[in-house]
Structure 1
Amino acid sequence: MTIPKSILERLKQNETIARKFHEIEISILSILNFHDFIEKLLFEISSKFSVPYTWISIIEESSISQPLHAIQNSKLLRTSTAFLSKKKFSDITQNQLKPILSNKNINKFNALIPDAAKYEIGSIAIAPITMDGEIVGSINQADKNIHRFEPGIDTSSLEQLALKASLCLSNVTAHEKLKFLAFHDPLTQLLNRNVMERILDREFQRSKRYHIDLALLFLDLDDFKSINDTYGHDNGDIALCYTANCLNSLKRETDIVARFAGDEFVVILPSSNQRQAETYINRVKQKLAKNPVPTDGQKFYMNLAHYRADFFSLAHIPLSLDYNQGSLKQA
């Protein structure tokens, strides 16, 4: 019995597609960080299948949103990663797990497209990706050709791609979480004490070598024990996270904020003198005084109780100052 030529060609095409998917899977399987994983995945899809536009969309409320926001320094990721709310994603995809194809009313998919991207889309394919059974976003492909992703074509290959990407993404996420916990405080997400000490040593040596000012702040909270006793330990944890966010939001890009222990924090201010350190402290105090800790049904404010600042001058003679209720005193 002679097999029709059309069937043979189809089998050959399927074999080629399967081989390309296998090559993509092999290329991303050993990658264990978000940055390289996404860059490699998008590059491989685009190059092996000659897709003009390939990008991912991430749901803001998903567990991978925050770490992906942190790597937007990559030009490729800025133009190939979009973030949108769970509601917008749901409105577009109707929570479908199967790939969506469209070549009409493309504007309705705008929320899925990165702001920095300049795509001319005639047809689009959206393949949802999941983690632990929950949709976290999608891998998207598009072409100027309106027939490339025309509704009705077989989407089994797109489903396979989304499945493989989801499995690899789970591995990357697990590894990134372990790596994050090795360097960060699990509650406040600030750098932990061990990392802070290494950074401080590096900054001190740099300050000493290049004769650059360096300020080091030790901070603790006002009567934090009474907050735990009065409002409960859960609200106490919220208060610590709130304070950590305050310290982080007011620092410069080059400054370092770390949790030292309990309600104690350390801030490293490279290239900063006494006046600049005082300005930072005053801004922190003002923000804490004006904004209550965001808890359910409770309202209280955080205050800095006692803090010490060490300044390393150009002559590198450490000057320690104690701050009590906003006044400076020689230590």
Structure 2
Amino acid sequence: MEIPLHLIEQLKKNEEIARKFNEIEISILSILNFEDFFERLLFQIADKFNIPHIWLSIIRESSICEQLRDSSESEALKSAIAFVAQERFISIIKDQKPVLVNRNLTFFKDLIPDTLTESIGSLAIAPITLDGKLVGSINQADGDVRRFEPGIDTSLLEQLAQKVSLCLSNVTAHEQLKFLAFHDSLTGLFNRGVFERILDREFSRAKRYDSELSLIFFDFDDFKTINDTAGHSIGDKALCFLANTLSNLKRKQDIVARLAGDEFVILLPSTEKKCAEQFIKRVNEHLEANPLISGGYTFNIRISHGISSLSDEGVSNPSGLLKTADSKMYQHKAEKKKR
């Protein structure tokens, strides 16, 4: 029985599409960071399939949203991402199957980045997952209303989404390992090793340019009481609460780290001691006005502190700056106990 010519042509077309998908997969397999992974992926798809518009829609509540927001320095990638609320995304994509649409495109506007200002005739949405959980979609658009007309076979598009999801899992695992190498696993702040390297750099910079540098050493008062009273899970929440307070109140150039246990430090470049004191005042006022409420407990978190700066006696190197602040923190704690 002779195979119809149109079926032969379709098979050839499918084979060519499959070959291109395979080339894309090979090109992204070895990439182990979010920015390069997504940038290469979008470029390859656009190039091999002559797609005029391609971008990502990422669910705001997904595990990769914050990493993509914070890590991406590529303006091209930033302009190719639309962040969408989970509830809205699910209302648009009711399951994890690709969607083709060429009518009522305004319904899908939340998936489209603001940078895409040209009118589109048809749209293909391929949901992607991470470890089985929906995190967003890869979207392709064309001015031609027939390019992604509903009813066209989406099996190859679904395969691409599945392969991307598998590769994304590898990238995520590598990014998490890299994050843990530089950050405290509980609070997400820089760890001691990273902070000491930053301290060396900023100390040298301040000396070279004859600028100020201050360091504040914080210690969580009566942290053991929280652990003993409410348990370690509430104690962990208290540490994260303090870490978030310091992070939210600091300036962009300031560096916050968790050194160990209930000890935190913040490095303030180009900052005199008076300004460092103002920062401590803001932290104390915030903690006083915002107690930690968790698990049926309410705790007013209080901290002891010590400030050091380059102008302090005996501060001749980075470790001296840290030790001076540490010593003053213990003096402050002892004075509070006497009172």
> Structure 1 length as normaliser, TM-score?
0.92
CA distance in 2, matches of 1:290, 1:177: 34
Q: How does 1:236-251 map to 2 (within 5 A)?
A: 236-251=235-250
Q: How does 1:164-313 map to 2 (within 5 A)?
A: 164-304=163-303, 306-313=304-311
Q: Which amino acid aligns with 1:272?
A: T
| SS of equivalent to 1:166 | helix
Q: Which amino acid aligns with 1:60?
A: R
| Structure 2: stretches of 5+ with no match in the other structure | none
Q: Is residue 82 of structure 1 aligned with residue 82 of structure 2?
A: yes
| SS of equivalent to 2:152 | coil
TM-align CA RMSD: 2.1
CA distance in 1, matches of 2:59, 2:140: 17
CA distance in 1, matches of 2:170, 2:202: 34
Distance 1:158 1:294, change over 3 A: farther
CA distance in 1, matches of 2:8, 2:312: 78
> Larger deviation: 96-105 or 316-325?
316-325
Aligned twin of 1:110: 109
CA distance in 1, matches of 2:286, 2:72: 28
Q: Which amino acid aligns with 2:229?
A: T
Q: CA deviation at 1:208?
A: 1.4
Contact 1:78/1:116, CA 8 A, preserved across alignment: no
Deviation by residue 1:93-121 (Cα, 9 ceiling, x = unmatched): 11x12101111111111221224443422
CA distance in 2, matches of 1:65, 1:59: 7
Aligned twin of 1:150: 149
Q: Is residue 49 of structure 1 aligned with residue 49 of structure 2?
A: yes
> Larger deviation: 30-39 or 266-275?
266-275
Q: CA deviation at 1:221?
A: 1.1
Distance 1:232 1:202, change over 3 A: same
> Structure 2 length as normaliser, TM-score?
0.90
Contact 1:208/1:316, CA 8 A, preserved across alignment: no
| SS of equivalent to 1:70 | helix
| SS of equivalent to 2:294 | coil
> Larger deviation: 106-115 or 306-315?
306-315
CA distance in 1, matches of 2:112, 2:246: 33
| SS of equivalent to 2:256 | strand
CA distance in 2, matches of 1:166, 1:198: 36
Aligned twin of 2:37: 37
| Structure 1: stretches of 5+ with no match in the other structure | none
Q: State the identity %.
A: 56
CA distance in 2, matches of 1:127, 1:295: 40
Aligned twin of 2:134: 135
Q: Is residue 24 of structure 1 aligned with residue 28 of structure 2?
A: no
Distance 1:205 1:107, change over 3 A: same
> Larger deviation: 52-61 or 239-248?
52-61
Contact 1:123/1:145, CA 8 A, preserved across alignment: yes
| SS of equivalent to 2:268 | strand
CA distance in 2, matches of 1:72, 1:114: 16
| SS of equivalent to 2:298 | coil
Q: Which amino acid aligns with 1:302?
A: I
Aligned twin of 2:125: 126
| SS of equivalent to 2:51 | coil
Distance 1:27 1:110, change over 3 A: same
Q: CA deviation at 1:313?
A: 3.7
Which structure shows the higher helix fraction? Answer: 2
Q: Which amino acid aligns with 2:246?
A: L
Aligned twin of 1:58: 58
